[in-house]
């Protein structure tokens, strides 16, 4: 069955995925709104940057994070001079990496929802003397609810499924950076196949339930018709 | 149609004869020996015409791949236990096992002057991260753990350990400066008898079990004459000179061939 170190890896993974999703909802929402509404020249390059993690191999991301976040890299020197130390081999480092790695999976569904939003509703809200921010929170966000649901589920699930980046910058430290995917890899390498099965099988079931939840809930929610 | 058949026949003959004098050997090699093997591959090709296809990884991982049908023909392990196990599992040819090198463990930092000649930096504990290869799967990792145990520092250093999945990744952690120091193979940091960069403590051999690295002919390679040629070549003078220049000790005698 599951050992204490397996449970520790599971808890760490849930914590990492949960925090990553939360941070991404906070920074991803304004970003998605901007991308959905802007007609400026930077829309295409910005969209491309957001989508990069979808096409880049995790090894590329891991390699550059290891170099730039390390003590010889620009970001590493910055964090070090601020007294935070360097980020690789730390939970914070994984969090930073995951936020970047899962960014498109949160931004894109929200952006899609914002793009299909009927702007006349926002105008109606402002004729009722709602400030733009007010209208955003009481009209745009509730109407984009399916987008937010998809974004949260994909952001969470994608972070849980992260492996290559964590392997390259995590250093496999128990309770700090040894997440489930790395733990499974360790079990397989050490030929502890029975333990690998418990975790790997659990991941299959988890992923299926998450996706099932997403498709079921999203079918249940209907965009209000005008 | 006749012309087609003739062309096909000619092509078949060309292929088979080409195969006879320039074969390929699929070699699985423990990460620490990658660099020397690449150097050996070049000389071996010049001497025999055979080409090596090299796959590097942690010994434990390569074992798992071989056990699950990987197409490797020769295995250069970082220990002697794994080749023995492969023979027991009937995945390697009995009697083909021999030691090709003794590995040396080194405590290395990419910063000049960081590691002193006696490794006292370890007991001072003035570092945030010490990199080590996964001791469960990589013999050099197990050797590093043995050294810390011997110095009575296991409990003090364990919270600072960062684990590379093999010795190459461990080296990367140290060379990028993300870990101040780490236990790596001397072959990774030494070339032509000199340290390439940084500072190092070559750990005295009595502090850890000898890292006898054994080669073995895998069952998949028993009909490939080139694989046997490679194993013979590894025990010859030319290969031994290369192996020694990377900082390995050599086995006293070369069994089998002499």
Beta bridge partner(s), residue B101: B213
Alpha-carbon torsion, ordered B74, B80, B81, B85, to 10 deg: 30
Q: And the tokens for A140?
A: 């745009």
pLDDT at residue B46 greater than cutoff 80: yes
- Per-residue pLDDT of B65-117, as tens digits, reads 898 888 999 999 999 999 999 999 999 999 999 999 999 999 999 999 999 98
- Grouping H, G, I as helix, E, B as strand and the rest as coil, residue B203 is coil
Interchain proximity B165–A185, CB inside 8 Å: yes
Task: Output the CATH code of domain A4-220.
Answer: 1.10.3720.10
For chain B, domain boundaries: 17-102+211-245, 105-202
pLDDT at residue B146 greater than cutoff 80: yes
User: Does A80 contact B at CB distance below 8 Å?
Assistant: no
Percent of chain A's residues with pLDDT above 90: 53
- Per-residue pLDDT of A141-193, as tens digits, reads 888 888 999 999 999 999 999 998 998 888 888 888 899 999 998 888 777 88
pLDDT at residue B1 greater than cutoff 90: no
**Contacts with B67 from chain A: Cβ below 8 Å:** 191
> Do A148 and A25 form a contact (C-beta atoms < 8 A)?
yes
Cα A211 to Cα A18, A21, A106, A151, B69: the distances in Å are: 17, 16, 15, 12, 34
Of residues B2 and B250, more confidence is placed in B250
- Per-residue pLDDT of A14-35, as tens digits, reads 999 999 999 999 999 999 999 9
| Tokens 């899609």 -> residue | A112
Task: Output the CATH code of domain B105-202.
Answer: 3.40.190.10
Mean pLDDT value of segment B4-23: 58
User: Does A9 contact B at CB distance below 8 Å?
Assistant: no
- CATH assignment of B17-102+211-245, among 3.40.190.10, 3.40.720.10, 3.10.450.50, 3.40.50.2300: 3.40.190.10
Domain B17-102+211-245 identical in fold to domain B105-202: yes
Percent of chain B's residues with pLDDT above 70: 89
User: Does B176 contact A at CB distance below 8 Å?
Assistant: yes
pLDDT at residue B137 greater than cutoff 90: no
pLDDT at residue B18 greater than cutoff 50: no
**Contacts with B161 from chain A: Cβ below 8 Å:** 173
- Per-residue pLDDT of A43-76, as tens digits, reads 999 999 999 999 999 989 999 998 999 888 899 9
Least Cα separation, residue B240 to chain A (angstroms): 31
- Interface ipTM: 0.74
Residues of A (176-195) whose Cβ lies below 8 Å from B: 185-186, 188-191
| Tokens 């002057």 -> residue | B113
Least Cα separation, residue A24 to chain B (angstroms): 27
- Report pTM: 0.79
């Amino acid at each position: 069955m599951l050992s204490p170190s397996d449970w520790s890896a599971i808890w760490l993974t849930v914590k990492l995925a949960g925090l990553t999703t939360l941070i991404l909802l906070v920074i991803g929402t304004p970003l998605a709104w901007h991308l959905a509404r802007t007609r400026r020249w930077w829309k295409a390059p910005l969209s491309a940057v957001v989508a990069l993690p979808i096409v880049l191999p995790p090894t590329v991301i891991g390699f550059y994070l290891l170099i730039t976040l390390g003590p010889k890299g620009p970001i590493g020197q910055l964090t070090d001079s601020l007294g935070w130390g360097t980020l690789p081999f730390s939970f914070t480092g994984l969090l930073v990496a995951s936020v970047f790695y899962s960014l498109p999976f949160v931004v894109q569904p929200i952006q899609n929802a914002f793009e299909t939003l009927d702007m006349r509703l926002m105008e109606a809200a402002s004729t009722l003397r709602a400030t733009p921010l007010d209208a955003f929170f009481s009209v745009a966000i509730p109407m984009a609810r399916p987008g937010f649901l998809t974004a949260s589920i994909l952001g969470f699930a994608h972070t849980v499924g992260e492996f290559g980046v964590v392997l390259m910058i995590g250093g496999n430290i128990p309770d700090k950076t040894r997440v489930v995917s790395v733990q499974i890899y360790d079990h397989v390498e050490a030929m502890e196949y029975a333990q690998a099965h418990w975790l790997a099988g659990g991941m299959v079931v988890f992923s299926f339930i998450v996706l099932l939840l997403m498709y079921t809930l999203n079918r249940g929610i209907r965009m209000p018709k005008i | 149609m006749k012309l087609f058949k003739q062309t096909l026949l000619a092509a078949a003959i060309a292929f088979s004869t080409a195969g006879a004098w320039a074969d390929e050997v699929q070699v699985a090699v423990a990460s620490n020996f990658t660099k020397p093997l690449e150097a050996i591959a070049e000389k071996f090709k010049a001497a025999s015409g055979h080409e090596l296809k090299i796959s590097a990884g942690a010994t434990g991982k390569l074992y798992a791949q071989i056990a699950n049908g990987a197409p490797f023909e020769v295995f250069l392990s970082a220990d002697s236990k794994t080749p023995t196990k492969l023979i027991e599992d009937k995945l390697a040819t009995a009697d083909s096992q021999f030691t090709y090198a003794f590995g040396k463990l080194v405590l290395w930092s990419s910063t000049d002057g960081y590691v002193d000649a006696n490794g006292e930096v370890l007991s001072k504990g003035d570092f945030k991260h010490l990199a080590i290869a996964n001791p469960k799967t990589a013999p050099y990792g197990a050797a590093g753990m043995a050294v810390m145990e011997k110095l009575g520092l296991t409990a003090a250093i364990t919270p600072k350990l960062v684990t590379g999945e093999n010795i190459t990744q461990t080296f990367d952690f140290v060379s990028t400066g993300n870990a101040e120091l780490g236990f790596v193979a001397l072959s990774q940091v030494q070339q032509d008898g000199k340290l390439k960069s940084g500072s190092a403590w070559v750990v005295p051999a009595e502090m850890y079990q000898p890292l006898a690295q054994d080669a073995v002919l895998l069952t998949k390679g028993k009909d490939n004459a080139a694989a046997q040629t490679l194993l013979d070549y590894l025990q010859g003078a030319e290969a031994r000179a290369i192996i020694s220049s990377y900082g390995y000790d050599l086995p006293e005698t070369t069994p089998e061939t002499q």
